[in-house]
A and B are shown apart, each in its own frame.
Chain A
Amino acid sequence: MKKKDWLKISVLGVCLIAAMTFFRVAHAQQQALPKHPPVKSDGKNLIVQLCDGQTNIEVPGVDPNGRLTAEQAQAVSHQLMSMWMAKADKATADAWMKEANVATESNASQDAPKEKKPVARQGTGRTDKAVSEKKESKQLVDFSARDYSIWDKELAKEIDYGNQIFHSDQLIGSTNGIACAMCHPNGANTHPETYPKFQLQLKRVALLRDMINWCIENPARGTRLAADDPKMRALEAYIMAQRKGTAMQPGKH
């Protein structure tokens, strides 16, 4: 082999190592979940932050590690909400107020249902007629087709990755040729809906992932996956997706 070839190979090697390192770092970043930035404080008083991650108030006279009384907490909550509403656009704030008032009214009096004009809101699970009849009511949270498309595609990717691992002795790290699907075609008889449940042989209440690891380590003679391993997450996604619509029955044997 010529000197030039060696050079080519070493350059290729360096590139490969660099690429691997890059993917590892990228992977680790993908693993880290987003967090609200920490609130700047002089450390004298307790600071409470709204779930928007931006609206904060300082509670004078309460130690940063101290606890609020129920009254103080209620007052703080009201104040944070009004601060948020002051920042929000008028339509959103109005819709929110309208709904908040309706909720308060319906809690207070149950005998005048015709007066209620609740605003339909995604995820509230409401089924009363007033909601569907009230056509002009503005939805507080309006998801577009793009939202649904992204959700579906991202989930499908995760399930598909799980599908590949589930059907491959190599991806699951099996040392004896055994893949999950060899005993569980289409994820059959994995019954994720029955966990958690007590497993005598594990001597504790088992989650689906404990059983996945049982099968990886024993029938497949592989190495167990961490609970947050991307492969474990994908396997759980695939297995659960196979049982879509099945009633949850934790503890069923």
Chain B
Amino acid sequence: MNPLKWIKRREAYVRQREQWMQDLMTAGQVEEGRRKFMKMAALAAGAAAGASFVPHSFTLVDVVNANTQVGQQPFTFAYISDSHLYEKTLNERFVRQLERAVADVNALDPQPDFILYGGDLAQLGQPSELKLGQQILKELKAPVKMMVGEHDWFFDLGDLWKEMFGAPYYSFDHKGTHFVTLMSVNEKDFWTAKKLTPMQRMQIVAGLDDGRQSRFEVGEEEREWLRRDLAKVPKTTPLVVFSHSPLYKYYRDWNFWTEDAEPIQALLHPFKSVTVIHGHTHQVLTNRIGNIHFHGMLSTAWPWPYAPTGLPRLTVQMNRPDPFNQTEGMGDGAITVNKSGYVDMRYDMWNRNPLIVSERYLASNGTQDAPPKTTLPSY
């Protein structure tokens, strides 16, 4: 990864705000400008005036080195998640943003071992949306592991997604780590009794705060599959689980939630090191329950606000996104699996410096290597 690229993007964002401020002051439109304009003009003549400007809504973050130990062979995989594509003619911006993430990941040097797509590729599960997404993801150079999200599923209950991308839950081994991808967004039938059309069902599920839907769950059948899959794996093998919804209970009303989180966690607790990487929450999100470390992925479409209650203690919030910039609080990222099996989670946020939530931060229960605090927390 070329850090220069990030610095350039961050600087472009800072420069834009500085330009607006300068324009206002030059025009004498703000009190500050009327008093200080002469002073500013003199300064600007001397050097690059914007160079020392640090806007309040923006945190300049130093790149933290990954927590690597001597003699280990860590490997890296990248992630892209929650693109929520409409057809290009309806919404070109979401398409451009997924393309941006693809370009970001293709520019990683060295290339990641593989890329996890975290679910919600489509917005309303339409064939045109899923096919558009598949077309764009084909541009990725490294192999892609697909996960399903509720927006991909509830139009035809997964028929087309399965046809296009295969089984919705599966496991694989990579460089000594056991990976499991779950389908965690099953919902109890709320549509048959109400005689809803597939589109009505999809629309309801697509509404994050729409209380007419059920809560996400992995379900009994898939839990049994997971139990049998994990039975074959030695307890010392590092375990990484992909799931669209967080595999814990954060905020019920928005399905930042998995109804059967406890029985699933019980299956994971016997392992020495377990990491869960999830989508759906569209935000920097960090949690630890015993031996399980949890990390949420960024969206390429839009950021969700932090929920009013239930935020895990270890989460260091990302800055509240700037509503005047349409790619704020979004991005993609890369995950390094350390020798211990735990990971360093990197958030490559557009407009900002990369943010790393390290293994050391979680292992120390937040006492070491804390990510920089936000200057703009949620209201």
Q: Verify if A214 is at the interface (C-beta below 8 Å from B).
A: yes
If A189-B320, A200-B21, A211-B323 touch, whether A181 touches B305 (CB-CB below 8 Å) is no
Contact of A182 among B302, B326, B376 (CB under 8 A): B302
Q: Interface code A161-192, partner B: CB below 8 Å = 1, 0 otherwise?
A: 00000010000000011100111111011010
Closest to B92 in A: A176
Number of A positions contacting B (CB below 8 A): 26
The answer to whether A176 and B378 have CB atoms under 8 Å apart is no
Q: Verify if A31 is at the interface (C-beta below 8 Å from B).
A: no
Q: Verify if A253 is at the interface (C-beta below 8 Å from B).
A: yes
If A167-B207, A176-B90, A186-B209 touch, whether A191 touches B379 (CB-CB below 8 Å) is yes
Inter-chain CA distance A178–B302, complex, in Å, is 10
The answer to whether B24 and A183 have CB atoms under 8 Å apart is no
Contact of A183 among B91, B92, B302, B376 (CB under 8 A): B302
Closest to A252 in B: B379
The answer to whether B86 and A181 have CB atoms under 8 Å apart is no
The answer to whether B17 and A185 have CB atoms under 8 Å apart is no
Q: Verify if A218 is at the interface (C-beta below 8 Å from B).
A: yes
The answer to whether A177 and B86 have CB atoms under 8 Å apart is yes
Closest to A183 in B: B302
The answer to whether B378 and A177 have CB atoms under 8 Å apart is no
Q: Verify if B103 is at the interface (C-beta below 8 Å from A).
A: no
Question: How distant is A13 from chain B, measured CB to nearest CB, in Å?
Answer: 30
The answer to whether B29 and A203 have CB atoms under 8 Å apart is yes
Taking CB atoms, residues of chain B closer than 8 Å to A177 are 86, 90-91, 123
Q: Interface code A194-215, partner B: CB below 8 Å = 1, 0 otherwise?
A: 1000011101000000010011
Taking CB atoms, residues of chain B closer than 8 Å to A193 are 379
Q: Verify if B56 is at the interface (C-beta below 8 Å from A).
A: yes
Q: Verify if A230 is at the interface (C-beta below 8 Å from B).
A: no
Number of A-B contacts (CB under 8 A): 64
Question: Which chain B residues (228-268) contact chain A, with CB distance < 8 Å?
Answer: 253-254
Inter-chain CA distance A242–B137, complex, in Å, is 39
The answer to whether A189 and B123 have CB atoms under 8 Å apart is no
Taking CB atoms, residues of chain A closer than 8 Å to B302 are 182-183
Closest to A201 in B: B324
Closest to B20 in A: A200
Inter-chain CA distance A167–B204, complex, in Å, is 11
Question: How distant is A16 from chain B, measured CB to nearest CB, in Å?
Answer: 27
Taking CB atoms, residues of chain A closer than 8 Å to B254 are 185-186
Contact of A178 among B29, B91, B208 (CB under 8 A): B91
Contact of B305 among A185, A200, A253 (CB under 8 A): A185
Q: Verify if A219 is at the interface (C-beta below 8 Å from B).
A: yes
Inter-chain CA distance A186–B254, complex, in Å, is 9
Closest to B320 in A: A189
Question: How distant is A238 from chain B, measured CB to nearest CB, in Å?
Answer: 12
Q: Verify if B57 is at the interface (C-beta below 8 Å from A).
A: yes
Closest to B89 in A: A176
Question: How distant is A148 from chain B, measured CB to nearest CB, in Å?
Answer: 27
Closest to B208 in A: A185
Inter-chain CA distance A214–B376, complex, in Å, is 20
Question: Which chain A residues (52-102) contact chain B, with CB distance < 8 Å?
Answer: none
Max chain A Cβ within 10 angstroms of own Cβ: one of B57, B86, B91, B303: B91
Taking CB atoms, residues of chain A closer than 8 Å to B303 are 183
If A200-B17, A203-B29, A253-B57 touch, whether A181 touches B207 (CB-CB below 8 Å) is yes
Taking CB atoms, residues of chain A closer than 8 Å to B21 are 200
Q: Verify if B271 is at the interface (C-beta below 8 Å from A).
A: no
Question: How distant is A250 from chain B, measured CB to nearest CB, in Å?
Answer: 13
Inter-chain CA distance A189–B209, complex, in Å, is 14
Q: Verify if B176 is at the interface (C-beta below 8 Å from A).
A: no
Closest to A163 in B: B209
Closest to B90 in A: A177
If A200-B21, A201-B20 touch, whether A218 touches B304 (CB-CB below 8 Å) is no
Q: Interface code B80-117, partner A: CB below 8 Å = 1, 0 otherwise?
A: 00000010001111000000000000000000000000
27 A-B residue pairs with Cβ-Cβ distance under 8 Å, sorted by A, are A167-B209, A176-B90, A176-B91, A181-B208, A181-B209, A183-B302, A183-B305, A185-B208, A185-B304, A185-B305, A186-B209, A186-B308, A188-B305, A188-B307, A188-B308, A188-B378, A189-B320, A189-B378, A189-B379, A191-B379, A199-B324, A200-B17, A200-B20, A201-B20, A214-B324, A215-B323, A219-B326
**Beyond A186-B254, A253-B376, 10 extra complex contacts between A and B, CB < 8 Å:** A167-B207, A177-B86, A177-B90, A184-B305, A186-B308, A189-B378, A200-B17, A214-B324, A219-B326, A253-B57
Top 9 nearest A-B pairs by Cβ distance? A189-B305, A185-B209, A188-B305, A191-B379, A176-B91, A201-B324, A185-B208, A177-B86, A186-B209
Hey, which bits of chain A sit against chain B, CB under 8 A?
Answer: 167, 176-178, 181-186, 188-189, 191, 193-194, 199-201, 203, 211, 214-215, 218-219, 252-253
